[in-house]
Structures are given as C-alpha cells and as structure tokens.
Chains A and B, each alone.
Chain A
Amino acid sequence: MLDALYAHRLVFVTGKGGVGKSTLTAALGMHAARSGRRTLVCETDTFSAMEPLLAVGRPVGHQPVVAAQNLWACNIQSEQSLADLVHRFVPSARLAKAAVSNRLARLFFRTAPSMYELSVLYRIKSLMDERDGDGPRYDTIIIDLPATGHAITFLSVPETANKVLRVGSVAEMSAELAAQLRDPNITDLVIVCIPEEMPVNESIELHKAAHDKLGLLAETIFINMVRPAPVPEDGRAALEFLADKFEDEPGPGGIGVLAEGGELGLDWSRQDREYIGKLHRGIQGANFIEVPYIYRNESDVDLIRRIADHLNAP
C-alpha cells in the first residue's frame, strides 16, 4: 500500500504541531527501510526527535548517520546549509564560512525572507543527488517538515526565489529545484492529522492547496491517535444501559466505575469517528491510514516498531 509512496525520491511529511508528525516520519522511515529501500530521514534545525525514536545511539546532526540497516537520519542545520550554498559561489569553504558568519551578513541572512528555507531545500537536493557506486546513495528521503509555517509556502520557496531573483545562478538553481518539487514522480506529500477540529480543517485545506499550487496529489493521509471504542458496535447498547443503571454508584463489585470509564471511551470514539468522517468527505480518493492511539508504557523505539508493524497490515 505504501510502495507507491516510497517510489518517490522525496517524501515530505507535514501536519499541524502535536499530531505526531515526527513519530510517523520515524515509523515511515523504519517501514521503508525494512522493505529494502535505502532510506534517509531528515529533520531540520530541531531538537532531534529521531535520536530517541529510532534509537540511533548518537547525536543526529547535519551529516547523515546510520540508524539501522538501510536507514539513515540527519538533522539539517540551516546555517551549515547556507554556508554550503554560499560555497558554490565563492571559491573556498573557509571564505564561505567566514562570509556567512560575518555579523552583518549573518543578520541579513537570518532575517531575509526564505533564505534559510532555500538553503535547507538546497541541502535536501544535494542529498538526493549523492551517489554511491552506480546508484543514488538514498532511494527515498523522508523529510519531517517544520510544524510552524505552511508546508506549501515552504515548498514554494524555490519558485518564489526564482521570481524574486529573476536572473543569476541561485535563480537558475531555484528553478531546477522548483521543477523537481512540482514533479509528482519525484515528490510526494504525506499529511498527518488527528481526529480534531483544527487539524482536520487544515488537512483538507492543505490537500487542496498542494494540488492547486504545487500540482501534488498528497494521496497518503495518516489519521493518528484514533481512540478505539471500548466495546464493539453490538455491545454499545448494553454498555450504555449499564452506565445508566449504575450512574454515580459503585454497582455490583464496583462495575459502575468501569462502566463510566467505558462510556467516556464511547464518547471519545464517537467524536473521533465524526471528525474522520469529515476528513473523508473533505478529501476524495486519498489513501487514509488510521493509527490507533497507543496507551503506552514503553520506550520510544518500541512504539515506532509497533507503528511500523501496523503499517504492514493491509
């Protein structure tokens, strides 16, 4: 089911903060690597979540490190990427580094619109172009997009940069990058959502904007943290009867308290289904993958393994 997704060179994972984007990026990376693809998982300028999630065992920095068989992780540093980018235009790496660390230039690049985004995308492109023997070093690069800001804005940066700069080497490079980001054979977008009002609305808008503005289909949509119903459909009536009967009293053997917990679960599950219905109605023809809420008492990497196992299920 996810083979079509992994066939893309670049997979951008996007979603509102707090929906479990990093968790699913890690799980997708693990799952793709298990299927034999050389997979690189990228974060950008963050407090690396991959370190614990993939049990990398050492700091995840700008340069990719091995996380497991067929799996690498990196945490792209925009300052370093900017220096890399500048290096293309000034002869020596030292001079490039000096140029971007100049106080005034630094101030300019720090605040100038989209300069960092452009550098990060440039870095991703370099990683995509890296070779190992006859083939590419990485088959699939999965990128955990920053939660703040809009994925579409981020992915439109090369195009905007091209329009703003018009001529020059960076303008040309941006044009090439923009074309690759808009090519549905190269790039795909994964939307991570949870069954709540804002994330659902935003996902519907994002899906539409990806199509309208970038020409990308964003066919894979994860619905994370779906709370399971405490009882199957045919047991609901009995549960509600029980909860009513022993409302605010312990009941035989203290069952009333459990019934109350069950009823709470029923409400949650109903509410989740309602939002999931809304998401389905808002996005036609996508591949929806539900990931159950995990009431965990386990380590991070076990959780990721569990979700990766779940992704195998049809």
Chain B
Amino acid sequence: MNFTDLLKEGRLVVCCGSGGVGKTTTAAALALRGAMAGRKTVVITIDPAKRLANSLGLETLGDTPQRIDLGALDAELAAQAGDGEVWAMMLDVKKAFDDLIRRLGPDSGAVDRILNNRLYHLMSTALHGVLEYVAVEKLFELYTGGYYDLIVLDTPPTKNALDFLEAPQRVARFFDRGVVKWFLPSEKKGIFGRIFQPGLVVIGLISRILGEKFTTDLTEFFDSVSTIIDPLQQRGEMVEFILRDPQTAFIIVTGADPRRIEEAIYFHDKLGTLDQKATAFVVNRVCTGYDEEHAETVANMTPEEFAQLVQAMAPVADEEGVRRLVDQLGDYYGRLIKLADRDHRGIKVLSDRVGKRILRLVPLLREDVHDIHQLLKIGDYLVADPAPA
C-alpha cells in the first residue's frame, strides 16, 4: 500500500518510533489528511501534549473520542473535508484497563472482586506491556465499532520495537490457563495431574523467594480474574489478527540524526521479523538547504557589494557593526551547514537501506507546531512526492 492509498483505503495506521521524534504530531497531521480524503478518522494518542490539543482547537484531550470542529479551525479545510471527520482522544491507561475489566466481567460481583483485589491495582499499572495492551485494546474497540473508517494510532514510545507488537500476546500469555491453573486448586485434574504437577514446583519456588503470603494473594487474584481470562485471550488474538491485516499500515517516525536513523532501521528490521513492513518512514525536523558554496560566495563578497550593504544598513548600524554582523551570520550559517550535512548523511544511510521511495522528509520548522496551519503544512509534506535524498 502506498501513502495516498493508505489515506483513502487503509483502516489502521500505526505510528511507531522512539520518544521525542514528533510521532504525535505526525499522527495528528495524518488524521487531518485522512479527513481531507473524506474519511471518518480518529487519532489515539498517549501523549498529553497540550499544544497538540490546542492546535486542534481543544483545551485538552479526553479519554473518549472528541470530534474536532474543522469549520471553526479553517473554513477551507472543512469544505475540502466534506463528509470527512477528525476525532481525537488520549488514552488513560488505568481507566482503560478498569473499563476493560468492566466490559469483560460476567457480572458486577465478579468485576468488583477484581477491581478490589490488592494485587490488581499493582498489576494494572506495573504489569509489563499493560500500556501497549490497553492501547491495542482501545484500538480493537474502535476498529470493530464500525463508525470510523480510519484509525491513526500514536504508539507509546518503546526502546524495544517488538514491545508494542508483542504486547497483546504477552499479556494474554500471562493470563494463560497454563500459568493460572497452578494457582487454581479448583481445576479438575486426572490422577496423573494430581500426582505430577509442574506448577507446584514453580509455586514452591515462587513461595520460597517471594514468601507464602504473596502466593496466597496471587492465588486469590487469579481466582478472581479467572472469569475474564477467556475473553481477554480472544481479544489478544483478534488484535494480533488486525495488526497483521493488509489494511493495517506501519509508519516509522524518526529524526534525521545518525543515532535516530539507526533506531529506525532497527525498528524496520524488527517489523520484518513479524512479516510486516513499513509503508513509510517519516523523517522529521530535517535541516536542509544550507551549503558550503553559498557560504563561500558571501565570504568572498566584493568591496562594492560590502559598501552597498553598509549603505542599506545605515539606519541601524555603522560599517564596523555591519562587518561584525556579517561575521556572526557566517559563523551561524556554518553551524546550519553542519546540521544539514549531518541530516543529509543520516537520510542517505536510511534511503540506501529502505529506498528513497518510502521516505517522507519534513523540514525543520521555525517554531513548535501549535496551530492547525502548521499541522496542515506537515500533512502536505507527508503526502508530497518523495524528496530526493
């Protein structure tokens, strides 16, 4: 799937990448583009950036999708979007996990038992992968809800690329009957099972290390959650199915400096091991357009040109001041050249590896993205023809 088809026909776009590379902004810009293609789009973020909410005309983002009033932001945009819509929400992990238990629990008694369990509180915030699991869970809800045509997911920043994709499996496995049944004495077992229980060995070990009391608490916990294990696992499987669907696209967001590029390539390779591939690499904050040649032209300014400059600057500076300014600007320009050079090299490494065609370069902007027009501008770069690297 290419980028344009993605906005027209894709169902899910997962934006991945490490922290601080502009993932959330990219996700929001994509969602706007989705709406401009006439689709009902929702963007899910975990990043509570106030500026992003403000740039979409909201004070804050809530934990349920809120519709963005495109007309109030930009009349032209609203006209272009037609039937297209943009909705946005921020994920509240703890609340989403509680909601999940409420939805899956067979009755309110069972739900209360889980929510009041002493270990549950700890599990729901500290269990490895819960954030990722809840994110994909929310995704499942919106995906199967039927209202939205396109979902843009801003993933939690992970150092390990696989974390996010493996989360559904991992959490599901934790609640796997195989593990749970060690702790559930009520499970029916044959004569062989009663004599030989590998679980008992493990429980013995855990008790020895973590204390008897903990094992008792854990048994109680598993007992109380046992009612929701099956639905939790089924969901995990379905989410995995969605992530492998051809209508699901992965976009890797990165910066241009060599270390970021290295991370992006690492991410790319990991996706490969899961039989997935990135639809596009978005390289943010690219410094470009500064070159040595121009710096030299200015450095070799003729006396006539300099005199002309001094004359033009007369209202604000004397000759000495102009000379100083030219020197300072030359130094600064030199820094920009270094930055541009570094970015150019980083992008070259990436394009040699994954090809130019799927790279989208977003130039370094003058200021933070804080209004709709800047978001739209970023969107323009995302759908533009691949830039020559």
| Interface residues of A, Cβ cutoff 8 Å to B | 16-19, 46-47, 85-86, 89-90, 99, 102, 104-105, 107-108, 110-114, 116, 146-148, 153, 157, 160, 164-171, 194, 196-199, 201, 230-231, 235, 237-239, 241-242, 245-246, 251-255, 257-259, 261-262, 264-265, 267-268, 271, 295-297
A167 to B217, CA, bound (A): 12
Partner of A148, one of B127, B157, B198: B157
Q: How many A-B residue pairs have CB under 8 A?
A: 210
Q: 6 closest Cβ contacts across the A-B interface?
A: A18-B20, A17-B19, A168-B211, A253-B301, A113-B126, A230-B332
* B184 partner residues in chain A, CB cutoff 8 A: none
> Do A18 and B174 have beta carbons less than 8 Å apart?
no
Partner of A16, one of B20, B176, B202, B324: B20
| Given A111-B127, A252-B301, A253-B297, also A235-B213 (CB < 8 A) | no
A17 to B297, CA, bound (A): 40
Give residues of chain B (43-100) contacting chain A, Cβ–Cβ below 8 Å.
Answer: 47, 49-51
* B309 partner residues in chain A, CB cutoff 8 A: 251-253, 255
* A169 partner residues in chain B, CB cutoff 8 A: 209, 211
| Given A107-B173, A241-B315, also A167-B20 (CB < 8 A) | no
* A267 partner residues in chain B, CB cutoff 8 A: 366-367
| Given A171-B211, A254-B297, also A265-B332 (CB < 8 A) | yes
> Do B329 and A258 have beta carbons less than 8 Å apart?
yes
* A164 partner residues in chain B, CB cutoff 8 A: 118-119, 122, 214, 217
B333 CB within 8 Å of chain A: yes
| Given A197-B50, A241-B315, also A255-B178 (CB < 8 A) | no
A157 to B49, CA, bound (A): 27
* B302 partner residues in chain A, CB cutoff 8 A: 253
* A168 partner residues in chain B, CB cutoff 8 A: 210-214
Q: Please name the residue on chain B nearest to A270 by beta carbon.
A: B367
Partner of A262, one of B119, B128, B329: B329
A271 to B331, CA, bound (A): 21
A157 to B128, CA, bound (A): 13
CB distance from B332 to the nearest CB of A (A): 4
CB distance from A269 to the nearest CB of B (A): 10
- Give the segment of B230-238, B275-283, B336-344 that binds chain A: B336-344
Q: Please name the residue on chain A nearest to B266 by beta carbon.
A: A47
A261 to B333, CA, bound (A): 6
Given A17-B157, A107-B173, A258-B329, 12 further pairs, Cβ under 8 A = A16-B19, A19-B20, A107-B174, A111-B129, A114-B126, A146-B159, A168-B213, A231-B325, A245-B313, A253-B306, A258-B298, A265-B336
A114 to B325, CA, bound (A): 57
19 cross-chain CB contacts under 8 A: A16-B19, A107-B174, A107-B179, A111-B171, A111-B173, A111-B174, A113-B123, A148-B159, A160-B122, A197-B50, A237-B316, A251-B312, A252-B308, A252-B309, A253-B298, A253-B302, A253-B305, A255-B298, A257-B333
A113 to B120, CA, bound (A): 10
Give a binary string over B292-306; 1 marks a CB under 8 Å from any A CB, 0 the rest: 001101101110011
Give a binary string over B162-184; 1 marks a CB under 8 Å from any A CB, 0 the rest: 00000000110110101100100
B352 CB within 8 Å of chain A: no
Interface size range of chain B in the complex: 35 or more
Q: Please name the residue on chain A nearest to B335 by beta carbon.
A: A295
* A201 partner residues in chain B, CB cutoff 8 A: 50
Interface of A is mostly: helix
A252 to B298, CA, bound (A): 9
* Best-buried of A164, A166, A171, A231 by chain B (most CB within 10 Å): A164
* B156 partner residues in chain A, CB cutoff 8 A: 148
Give residues of chain B (310-351) contacting chain A, Cβ–Cβ below 8 Å.
Answer: 312-313, 315-317, 321-322, 324-326, 328-333, 335-336, 338-339, 341-342
B199 CB within 8 Å of chain A: yes
> Do B126 and A198 have beta carbons less than 8 Å apart?
no
Partner of B325, one of A17, A85, A242, A271: A242
> Do A295 and B338 have beta carbons less than 8 Å apart?
yes
* B174 partner residues in chain A, CB cutoff 8 A: 107, 111-112
> Do A252 and B305 have beta carbons less than 8 Å apart?
yes
* A198 partner residues in chain B, CB cutoff 8 A: 47, 49
B26 CB within 8 Å of chain A: no
B286 CB within 8 Å of chain A: no
* B312 partner residues in chain A, CB cutoff 8 A: 245-246, 251-252
Q: Please name the residue on chain A nearest to B260 by beta carbon.
A: A18
Q: Please name the residue on chain A nearest to B329 by beta carbon.
A: A258
B206 CB within 8 Å of chain A: yes
Partner of A230, one of B125, B202, B329: B329
